[in-house]
């Protein structure tokens, strides 16, 4: 797949401190790309470089086949983690101002804002000052301001913070729709469940270095442990358990079922297949539950970061 954004060997230093150490990322067109990492890992530094707020000390950045240049700011939309708007400025004027700074003409900006304000059902806020709005309301305005110039690349830093679950869902839906309409999205968050829901690819940055990247599915495959959750109805659980232990690695269950079945986590040996385990189980009783334990984004995050330390 073609890449919208290519970050090649980027280094950024602040005095003696290295914020980014030779980081390279390739972000495919039309994907939701999860940029993950612990606090202070260097994510914000990288995002600021993509936004041309700061310049890298070395390395190159290619946006849609061109070296990143000042005129590209009109093709990027950025929702920073620390939100903010002019408090005493009116919503409409402010949105128009920010849209014009992104290169839209005044009339075009008005048209698009009208569309978004109607879509979010907030047209009544046009003449209000930001300081009169609640935090959630201001966040909606900020979201609109981020996306209204139809950028090729959208960067969302913790987009759901400050939203209630209903509005968070609304925003998530909008983000996915923007992707379907052709935008490429960089999505930085600490909420791993939303990474699972939304991201096609991820990269993990820790201590200024990229320690992991690729398609989320591939990474999960890489991190899979071939462990299965097993639930079995049997008359003799003790005997079945010890028989399992002699053939497989067995751990106590980390899940619950509704009945009184024998529940275990079973890890296959390298030579075994899932069918070997399944046929063993069916010969001993009635299989109620049989699911491969796929590592969550959360598990992968914790494992990878711990390993890096």
Partner 1 sequence: MSKLKLIIQREFITKVRNKSFIVMTFLSPLIMVGMGFLVYFLMQKNDEKVKKIVYVDNSGLFSKDDFKDTKTIHYTDYTALGIEETKKKVEAGNYYGALIIPKKDSLELLAKSIEFYSKDSPGMSVMNSIENKIERKLRNEKLNNFRIDIDKINASRIQSDIKMYNFSGEESSKLINGLKIGVGAIAGYFLMMFVMIYGTSVMRSVIEEKTSRIIEVIVSSVKPFQLMLGKIIGNASAGLLQFFIWGVILFILITVASSVFGVDVVEMQSSRVPAEQLEMAKQATGGGKGQLILQEILRLPILKIFVLFIFYFLGGYMLYSSLFAAVGAAVDNETDTQQFMLPIMLPLILGVYVGFATVINDPHGSIAVLFSHIPFTSPIVMLMRVPFGVSWYELAISMALLLVTFVFMVWLAAKIYRVGILMYGKKPTYKDLYKWLKYKG
Instruction: Report how far residue 154's alpha carbon sits from residue 186's, in angstroms, rounded to the nearest whole number.
Output: 6
- Residue 85 within binding range of partner 1, rule CB under 8 A: yes
- Among residues 208, 213, 256, the alpha carbon closest in space to that of 231 is found at 256
Pick from 60, 87, 169, 269 the residue near partner 1 by CB under 8 A. Answer: 87
Is 53 one of the binding residues for partner 1 (CB under 8 A)? Answer: yes
| Of 39, 67, 82, 283, the one binding partner 1 by CB under 8 A | 82
Q: Are 47 and 68 in contact, with CB atoms under 8 Å apart?
A: no
Q: Which two tokens stand for residue 197?
A: 């829901």
Q: Considering the rule CB under 8 A, would residue 21 count as an interface residue with partner 1?
A: no
Q: Give the span between the Cα atoms of 113 and 4, in whole angstroms.
A: 26
Q: Check residue 134 for interaction with partner 1 (CB under 8 A).
A: no
Residue 131's Cα: distance from chain center in Å?
30
Residues 6+ apart with CB under 8 A from 208: 18, 19, 20, 21, 23, 41, 42
Q: Answer whether 195's CB lies under 8 Å from 292's CB.
A: no
Residue 1 C-beta: closest distance to partner 1, Å = 26
Shortest Cβ 80–partner 1 spacing (Å): 4
Choose one: 19-27, 54-62, 181-189, 262-270; the region binding partner 1 (CB under 8 A): 54-62
**Residue nearer to partner 1 on the CB measure, 175 or 264:** 175
Contacting residues for 121 by C-beta, under 8 A, at least 6 apart: none
Q: Which stretch binds partner 1 (CB under 8 A): 52-60, 248-256, 266-274, 299-307?
A: 52-60
Give the residue with the Cβ less far from partner 1, 140 or 284: 140
**Residues in touch with partner 1 (CB under 8 A):** 14-15, 48, 51-57, 70, 73, 76, 78, 80, 82-89, 97-98, 100-102, 142, 145
């Amino acid at each position: 797949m073609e890449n919208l954004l290519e970050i090649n060997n980027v280094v950024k230093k602040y005095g003696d401190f290295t914020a980014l150490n030779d980081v390279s990322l390739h972000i495919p067109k039309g994907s939701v790309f999860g940029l993950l990492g612990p606090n202070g890992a260097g994510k914000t530094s990288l995002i600021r470089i993509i936004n041309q707020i700061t310049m890298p000390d070395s390395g190159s950045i290619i946006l849609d086949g061109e070296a990143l240049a000042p005129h590209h700011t009109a093709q990027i939309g950025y929702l920073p983690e620390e939100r903010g708007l002019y408090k005493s400025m009116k919503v409409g004027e402010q949105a128009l101002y920010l849209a014009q700074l992104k290169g839209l003409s005044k009339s075009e900006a008005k048209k698009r804002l009208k569309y978004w304000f109607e879509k979010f059902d907030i047209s009544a806020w046009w003449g209000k000052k930001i300081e009169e709005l609640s935090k959630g309301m201001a966040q909606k305005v900020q979201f609109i301001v981020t996306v209204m110039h139809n950028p090729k690349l959208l960067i969302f830093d913790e987009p759901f913070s400050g939203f209630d679950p209903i509005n968070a869902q609304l925003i998530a839906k909008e983000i996915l729709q923007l992707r379907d309409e052709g935008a490429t999205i960089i999505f930085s968050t600490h909420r791993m469940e939303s990474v699972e829901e939304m991201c096609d690819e991820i990269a993990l940055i820790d201590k200024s270095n990229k320690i992991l990247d690729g398609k989320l599915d591939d990474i999960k495959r890489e991190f899979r442990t071939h462990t299965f959750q097993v639930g079995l109805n049997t008359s003799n659980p003790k005997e079945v358990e010890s028989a399992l232990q002699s053939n497989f690695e067995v751990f106590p269950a980390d899940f619950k079922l509704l009945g009184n079945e024998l529940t275990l986590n079973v890890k296959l040996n390298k030579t075994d297949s899932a069918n070997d385990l399944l046929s063993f189980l069916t010969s001993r009783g009635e299989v109620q539950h049989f699911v491969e334990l796929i590592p969550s984004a959360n598990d992968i995050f914790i494992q990878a970061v711990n390993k890096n330390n």
